[in-house]
Amino acid sequence: MELKGKVALITGASRGIGRAIAIELAKRGVNVVINYRSNEEEAKKTEELCRQYGVETLLVKADVSNREEVREMVKKVIDKFGRIDILINNAGILGKTKDPLEVTDEEWDRVISVNLKGAFIVTQEVLRYMKKGKIVNIASIAGKDGGTVGPHYAASKGGLIALTFNLARHLAPNILVNAVAPGPVDTDMLSSEMKEMLKKLSLTGDIAKPSEVAHAVIFLLENDHITGEVIDVNGGRLMD
pLDDT, greater one: 7 or 147: 7
Question: Domain ranges in the chain?
Answer: 7-233
Position 16: which residue type?
G
pTM for this model (two decimals): 0.95
What mean pLDDT do residues 100-112 have? 96
Would you say residue 218 has pLDDT above 90?
yes
Whether 205 shows a pLDDT value over 70: the answer reads yes
Percent of the chain at pLDDT > 70 equals 100
Active-site residue flag, 129:
no
Mean per-residue pLDDT, 152-160: 98
Per-residue pLDDT averaged across 44-61, rounded?
98
198 pairs with which residues across the strands? none
pLDDT given for residue 86 in this prediction: 99
Instruction: Provide the 8-state DSSP code for 4.
Output: T
CA dihedral 24, 83, 157, 25 (to 10 degrees): 0
Q: Mean pLDDT across the stretch 192-221?
A: 90
In the chain, the N- to C-terminal Cα span, in Å, equals: 29
Could you tell me the CA-to-CA distances from 156 to 19, 31, 82, 135, 199 in Å, in that order?
A: 22, 29, 32, 18, 24
Is residue 66 within 8 A of residue 110, CB to CB? The reply is: no
In terms of pLDDT, which residue wins out, 188 or 6?
6
Q: How confident is the model at residue 175 (pLDDT cuts 50, 70, 90)?
A: very high
**pLDDT exceeds cutoff 80 at 189:** no
Q: Is the pLDDT of residue 239 over 80?
A: no
DSSP class of residue 114 equals I
Q: For residue 237, what pLDDT band results from cuts at 50, 70 and 90?
A: confident
Using DSSP, how many helices (H) and how many strands (E) does the chain show?
9, 7
d(CA 91, CA 107): 16
pLDDT at 238: 80
Residue 54 has pLDDT above 90, yes or no: yes
| Predicted local confidence at residue 240, as pLDDT | 55
Catalytic residue among 36, 53, 129, 153: 153
Number of Cβ atoms within 10 Å of the Cβ of 54: 8
Confidence of residue 156 (pLDDT cuts 50, 70, 90): very high
Answer with the residue of higher pLDDT: 138 or 186.
138
Q: Calculate what percentage of the chain has a pLDDT beyond 90.
A: 84
pLDDT at 32: 98
pLDDT tens per residue across span 59-94:
999 999 999 999 999 999 999 999 999 999 999 999
The CATH number of the domain covering residues in 7-233: 3.40.50.720
